[in-house]
Structure formats: structure tokens, C-alpha cells
Structure 1
Amino acid sequence: MKSNPWLAPYLIGNSPDRYVQLEHRAVAQSIKGESIAARAEVLRAQMREVFLCGDQTSLLLDQLLAIGEGHALTHYGSSQQVLGALYRQNPWGDGAQPALMLTGLAGTGKTQLMQAMRCLLGARVGCVDLPGHRNLEIQPAWFMSLREGNTLNSLLGPWVIPNRTSSEGVEISKKKDLKQAHLLQLARRVSRRDGVCIIFLDEFQFITNSPQANALAMTLLLQLLSVGPRVIYVANYSLVRRLMNRRQEDRHRVLVNHLELQPDAMDSADFLNYIRELTRIAPADFRFEPQVVASLLHRYTYGIKRAVVELLVSAWTHGKIHRGAQADVTESDLKAAYASSGYMPFRSDVEALWRHSVGDKNINPDLLNPLRFETPESNVVVAQAAINDFNRRVNERHVEGMLTSSEREVLSKLAPSRKASPSVGKVRRLPVGAASKESLLDVFSRLGDDL
């Protein structure tokens, strides 16, 4: 069977090492120099370059490629289908698929994931010959960043206007911006001709937090959706929350489908491998075994990659300042770095996330995915916490019951004041019919309060 050249860029196989060529491994080096601050900057820059394709990252890459594969199967099933579309007024048809959002906490590696996709699909540009059309370019995806501007001309122009950029992406000629209607029509034709199945949009944080920015973000997304390829955009939770305040029909177009890049779990191989790779940059300074400090590092960073890098760099700096240029980084340096004023922005978020994980609802909403419902795993955490608290109170009652009257009187003076509670038990009525998990947990919690 003859291969489909428009479909081929998105087919990667299922080998465990299918993305190994995208990884950026550590390069061991001796960081020298008289200035500790300058050497710390070098270390930070090297650590931020590290990118590993663990289980979660590989799964997300698979899902992103599947979006392109599905669009190619729909619109590039045969040469005749492609040729017919080239001469239509609306080459992609009348329907438009909703956008897909990649979200997650700041610092988890969303932009690195986009860079990996750019590296992968950028290496798969090809050509195809069709009747009457020779050397048609196949460009699997367009990559855009709001860092480069927030207008349609700044985003689409480099892809659809000839000679706007060189092959290295450097602007080599100034052209007058096209009118929006003309630019969109041109983008539809060029993207259909070039086999573009995905438009990636990154760096939405460059849109400000004003109400006008919310409208601008939605307008940009809807305009890009009208081009024809699938749109995949990157957004932090704060933007997601703002977009949820838009009209219903807009929310359906940009919030229905989403993927989430979560911090690495404490017991995951991905987290341990990431620590191991970071410490390989300066092996003469990081002599501890990664598995020994993994639990502590995760407790101090919540598994957020940007926080891990900052904590390790701060610990390295602390060791060098207090014990000399030849000092190794120790666990005490990690603790000092965590308590430092420089780590405070990360520390406040990490502590808030940990408190929330055990039931505290008082948390900055920008740290939570507003589209994610409570998972069964989090229910287990809440239930286990309730069970432990329940058992502790039962044990306290048993101990108090074994005391003499004089011992009980002394204990009552030492213990903190407590609200008076009835000596007889209370009967809590369960709701009639099927009970939800939430209602059972609530009844259990109230039952524990009465002991």
C-alpha cells in the first residue's frame, strides 16, 4: 500500500524510545569562575535546558500527534481530495473543529513540550507531486508564540506572506500588514495547500490580565480556528479561569477539549530521573544519591520542574558561600534554600498546594485547574485523613476512660479548652436512596467531629 505523505509526519510508532531524539540530556562540566553568582547563572541555564521524555510527556506527545493524524485522515485521504480542495473558495469546508488546550501549573514544562513538537514536526517537512502541481511542500504544523506579537499579522504573516522571514526565522523585509479578511483567506489557502494540520499557539501569558485581554485572547483563538487546521494552544490556569467567563458558544469552541501537564509524582521514575539528570551537570558538587533526597525535594517543590531547578541552584549557591568553592551540596543546603527569601514565591505556592492536597480549600484559584474534577485518588487521600483522625479520637477516648477521677481532673486542666459535647451519642441520618461519594465523606467527617 502506498504511504500517505500528508499522514506520515504524525506516525511515530509505539517504541518505548520513540522520542529519545527529542531529549536534551545533561552535559557534565566543571563550572568555574570567581563569582559565585555568575556560576550559579550558568548552572541555572544548563539545568533549564534539560528535557526528558518520561511516561507523562510521551503520552502527551502521542495525544498531540493524534490530533494531526486525525485531521490528515479527514482532509488528506487522497490526492484527488487535496486537488479538489485547492480550487474551492473555502478549501477546508464549512465546519470547524474546537481548539485543544494544553494547560498546567506554571513551570511544569508546557513550553518545552511545544519546543519538542516543533523539533519533531519541523524535521518532517517534505514535498509531493500532484497532477499539475510539482514539489508541493508538506508543512505538518505552524508554530506561533504571543511573545512575537498578539496580532494576526504577527502570528500568521511569517507563514503565509512570502519573504517575510528567512529560513532561520529572521525578518528580512518589511511588508505592509494585510487586512484581516485578506490575511485569513490567504492563510486558509496556504495551510490547505501545504498540508498544515495543526496550529500551535504558545506563551499566552504575554496577554495581560485586563478584561480587554480576555476578549483579545478569545478573539485570537476564534480567528485562528476559522483558518482550518486544528488549533492547540497553551494556557495557565489563570487564563482558563478567565476564558470560562466568556459566552457559552465561545467556551464550547476553546474549552471543551483539554490536556493537562501535571507535576511529577513523588514516587514516579520520571521525577527521580529528572533529579538524576540535573545533578549530572555538576557531578563534582552534587554527590548525594538522587533517591536519598527525592522525597525531600518533592516535598519542597511539589514536583514542579522550575521549582526543582531553582531549589537546586539556591542550595548550590548556599553551600559555596558558607563552606567554600569545593563544598558539596548537602541536605542542609536544600533546607536552607527552601527557607531562603529568594525561594519564597515558590515556597508559598508549594505549601498551598500541599495544604490543598489534604483538604484545605483556602488556596489561590490560579493554582487549580478549574476544568478538573476531584479524582478518585484525591478522594482516597481525604477519606484516609478522615479515617486517621477518627481513629486518633477514638484512642483518646479509650485512654481518658482508663484514668482515675483525680487523673482526669489534672488532664482537663492541662488540655486546651474544648467545646462541650453531649455524653450520649448522636444518630446521623444517611440520605435516602443512593449516596454520592461526597455525601458519605461529609457524613464520615461529621461523625468524627462528634467523638
Structure 2
Amino acid sequence: MIEIMRTRFDGLLDIEHIRKKVTIRPEPVGDIDHLPPMLAAHFLEMTLRRIFLPNQFSLELIAELVGKAAAHSALRSTSEQVFVKEMYYPTPVETFPICLTGLAGVGKSATIEALLRALPGPAEFKIDHCMTSLTAESHWYASAKGKSSGKQLLADFLGIEPTTRENAASLQSRAQQQANMRGISLAILEEMQHLTPGKGVALTTDFLLTMSGIGLPMVYVSNFSLGHKLLQRNQEDTQRLVAQPRVMWPDAPESTVWADFIDACIAASAGRVRSERKVFSHEIYRGTYGLKRAAIHLIVQAYVQARSQNRNYIELGDIHAAYISSAYYSYRIDVEELERIAIKQKTKRYDLLCPFGTPTRSNVVQFIRTERDNRVAQAAFKCALTAEERETHKSLKLDTDMKAQAPKRPKRKPLGKPTSDDLGNAFTNFFDNNQDD
């Protein structure tokens, strides 16, 4: 029955099979218009967040990791004798993990969730060496959240309490034995951003070296800022931990994947978008830089804006109002900085700059430059208008650029210095009111 360790990955490497396995198109949100606006927006957001349409990068990464897991499983189970030997005397192997990195909200965690769906589930098998059946598991998913050291990570994997009597090397050897006995063929480490603050990158390095020391093919999720910190480590660390980066970028604005994502959002909203699809897609990309998390948040805030206007459907103006709203402020400053980076390739925001020198896609840069040129042309046009023409232009509501500077709130006139009569009247009113009480 050891053959199950080699055959459990059969048919899982095909790209089209992976696409069908991981794609999620949720059912439309349903009747939410009778709910309070914020509660309705919450249900809409929950529905939109379930959408997952893999792009070519995600499909190829998933196929690569499933293939590495299949190769590792086959190597450890060429025969029952080899499998039993690895249970007790694991072969020391040094692995170089894959670093999945990209901008926040680009879809890294969603890709990891898709990878978990693509991997085979638990399967029972029996060998002559053991009296009872064993359960083969395809992967070990570990979270750095709430962990204080790599030793605690290993202890959690083994299901024991970490003690000072057993060092990390002993725990690592036991983890190797457990991984081989359970048929684990891939390690996935996520939520690195939740590591204990104040310990710098040393704790992150400890986690990664501990995981890679088990000898499993491994992938970990990293943001750009962590990548910059890891590249500042010593050579022996960087060559092990960041030697295989996989940089995930947003989809191109004219790509089929982005258009399919917008169509899926419109379908999931149950027809609550009343705008021409191509224009709607263009405006969403302008306001989000193609980041899926930002796009969902912008659509949800647009629905909130629509409800504030006593409408149950989203118009293009709602997207513009949502973009300049306070609820979208944190996304807006990131998007506008990313546009500057795409053109200048310089910034002080290391969380937005790729640490591996990968330039922004040329079609995205062209999109941003075209948008900038359009805004410059519109600004020049408005500056050339007379005062009367500007008023006419405003009355016709032709200026619908959501990235134009929002009008400043007019200042109230100062109250001025009170006179003696004003102070006397105020005191009399105050005294009379207190007398009534």
C-alpha cells in the first residue's frame, strides 16, 4: 500500500485541472437593500472576498509547488524499506525555500489558500512495519502568528509543550521523523507580519531557518518590507532564504483576468452596478492600481455612497465619491504613491518598492503615464478657461476626475471680538437660565 504515497499526486499538475479546482465564483449576494447600509455593505464585502480567479502566475506557482511536493513524496517512498528508514533515520537535506512576495492586497494569501485546495487530502495507507494504518498528509501549514521562536513552532507541530530540556536541534530531528512518517511533502509558512514586534528580522530568520532545516520543499509569504530586511542579513542567510523569490504583481489593466474579475464582482453584486462595464473596469483600476483587496473595498464603499443617495445601485460617480472618502484614505495614499513609483522607480516607502529589482510591468507604466498625461491636459484646459467658462464647466458637471483635488471646505467667518453689551447680555441669559433651574 506504499504506492499511495507516489500516486496521490497523479493528475494534479495539469494547469487546467488546477484552474478548475481553485476557481471560486460565489453566488450573488442576494437581497441586502432592506438592511442598514453598513450591514448591507458588510454582506457585499464578504461575498466579493470569496472571488478567486487565478492568473497565469498563480497557476504556474501552484503547479510548481505541487510538483515539488510530488517529487519529494516519491523520493521518500521508493520502497517500504526506504520509507521505514526515513521514519527513524531521516536523511539530512538542506532546502532553499521559495519566497512568495508582492504588494499587500495583490492576492498572495488567496494564492496560498488556492494551493491548499489543489493539494491532495489525507489518505490512509498500511505498511507491514506498523500494526495500524497510517494517514498520509500532503502538507504542513504553519502560521507565525503568536509564536515566539522557531522552537515553539516545532513544538506545536509535534503537539508538545516546549521545554528548556530539549533543544531546537532535537526538536528538529523529531519533526523530520514525524514529517516522513506522516508523508508530509510541503511546508507552508504564512503570517510573517504577525511576528513579535521589536525583535527585528532576527526572529524571522530563526523561523525560516528552522523550517527549512526540516528538509521539506517550502514556501513562505513575505511583503516587500520584509524582503528588504532579509537582504540586509549576512550572505549565508540571504543565499538560503531569498534565493528563490517569486514576485506577484497586479494584473494588467487590459488583461482578460482583470476583466473577468470585474465581471465576477458585478455578478456577485447581483446587478448593483449600473455603468458600462469597460468604463467601470477602467475607473476601478485607476483607483486601486489593480490590487484586488483595494478594488473590493472601493466597490463596497461605492455601494455605501449609493445608499447615502437613496439608491440601491452603483453609478460611476459613486466610485469617484468613494475614492476621495475617508474610508478609502489609506488605500488612496498607497495607490498614488505606487503610481509615482511606476514612473520614477524611487520612493522612501520600502513596503511599496520591490526588493529584488523587478521593474513594474511596462503596460502598467504605460497605463499610468497615459492617465497622468490626461490629467495634465485637463488641468491645462481648465486653466485656459475664463472665470465665466469655469463656472459653466462646473455647472455642467463635466469635471468627473476622481483624482482631482477635492474642493476645500469654506472657512466660517470669525465671530469677532465681543463687545461689552454682548458680554452683558450673555451673562444675563446665563443667570436667568440658572435661576429657572
TM-score range, shorter chain: 0.7 to 0.9
The runs of 5 or more residues in structure 1 that have no matched partner are 165-174, 389-451
Partner Cα separation in structure 1 for residue 92 and residue 59 of structure 2: 33
Q: Quickly say closer, same or farther: Cα 1:115–1:5, change in 2 above 3 A.
A: same
Q: Pairwise mapping of residues 395-406 of structure 1 onto structure 2 (< 5 A)?
A: none
Partner Cα separation in structure 1 for residue 361 and residue 189 of structure 2: 32
Partner Cα separation in structure 2 for residue 378 and residue 278 of structure 1: 23
Paired residue for 1:238?
Answer: 225
TM-score by length of 2: 0.76
Paired residue for 2:14?
Answer: 14
Partner Cα separation in structure 2 for residue 196 and residue 45 of structure 1: 32
Paired residue for 1:343?
Answer: 328
Partner Cα separation in structure 2 for residue 144 and residue 114 of structure 1: 12
Which amino acid in the other structure matches residue 291 of structure 1? Answer: K
Find the residue that maps to 1:272 and give its secondary structure. helix
Partner Cα separation in structure 2 for residue 209 and residue 314 of structure 1: 32
Q: Quickly say closer, same or farther: Cα 1:234–1:130, change in 2 above 3 A.
A: same
1:310 aligned residue (264, 284, 297): 297
Q: Pairwise mapping of residues 30-69 of structure 1 onto structure 2 (< 5 A)?
A: 30-69=31-70
Partner Cα separation in structure 1 for residue 286 and residue 181 of structure 2: 51
> Displacement, 1:372?
3.2
Q: Quickly say closer, same or farther: Cα 1:54–1:254, change in 2 above 3 A.
A: same
The answer to whether the Cα contact below 8 Å between 2:139 and 2:184 also exists between their aligned partners in 1 is: yes
Find the residue that maps to 2:105 and give its secondary structure. coil
Q: Quickly say closer, same or farther: Cα 1:347–1:204, change in 2 above 3 A.
A: same
RMSD of Structure 2 on Structure 1 (CA): 2.8
Paired residue for 2:138?
Answer: 140
Partner Cα separation in structure 1 for residue 361 and residue 304 of structure 2: 41
> Displacement, 1:34?
4.2
Q: Quickly say closer, same or farther: Cα 1:340–1:152, change in 2 above 3 A.
A: same
Paired residue for 2:187?
Answer: 199
> Displacement, 1:379?
12
Partner Cα separation in structure 1 for residue 324 and residue 163 of structure 2: 51
Partner Cα separation in structure 2 for residue 153 and residue 6 of structure 1: 31
The answer to whether the Cα contact below 8 Å between 1:356 and 1:363 also exists between their aligned partners in 2 is: no
Residues 1:259 and 2:257 aligned together: no
Paired residue for 1:70?
Answer: 71
1:370 aligned residue (335, 350, 355): 355
Find the residue that maps to 1:196 and give its secondary structure. coil
Find the residue that maps to 1:143 and give its secondary structure. strand
Runs of 4 or more consecutive aligned structure 1 residues displaced over 6 Å after TM superposition: none
Find the residue that maps to 1:69 and give its secondary structure. helix
The answer to whether the Cα contact below 8 Å between 2:149 and 2:206 also exists between their aligned partners in 1 is: no
1:356 aligned residue (341, 366, 376): 341
Partner Cα separation in structure 2 for residue 373 and residue 276 of structure 1: 30
> Displacement, 1:281?
2.5
Partner Cα separation in structure 2 for residue 378 and residue 315 of structure 1: 27
Paired residue for 2:125?
Answer: 128
The runs of 5 or more residues in structure 2 that have no matched partner are 374-437
Find the residue that maps to 1:319 and give its secondary structure. helix
> Displacement, 1:11?
4.5
> Displacement, 1:307?
0.4
Paired residue for 2:24?
Answer: 24
Find the residue that maps to 1:103 and give its secondary structure. strand
Find the residue that maps to 1:108 and give its secondary structure. coil
Q: Quickly say closer, same or farther: Cα 1:150–1:234, change in 2 above 3 A.
A: farther
The answer to whether the Cα contact below 8 Å between 2:15 and 2:63 also exists between their aligned partners in 1 is: no
> Displacement, 1:84?
2.5
The answer to whether the Cα contact below 8 Å between 1:108 and 1:262 also exists between their aligned partners in 2 is: yes
Partner Cα separation in structure 1 for residue 361 and residue 112 of structure 2: 30
The answer to whether the Cα contact below 8 Å between 1:11 and 1:69 also exists between their aligned partners in 2 is: no
Q: Provide the aligned length of Structure 1 versus Structure 2.
A: 365
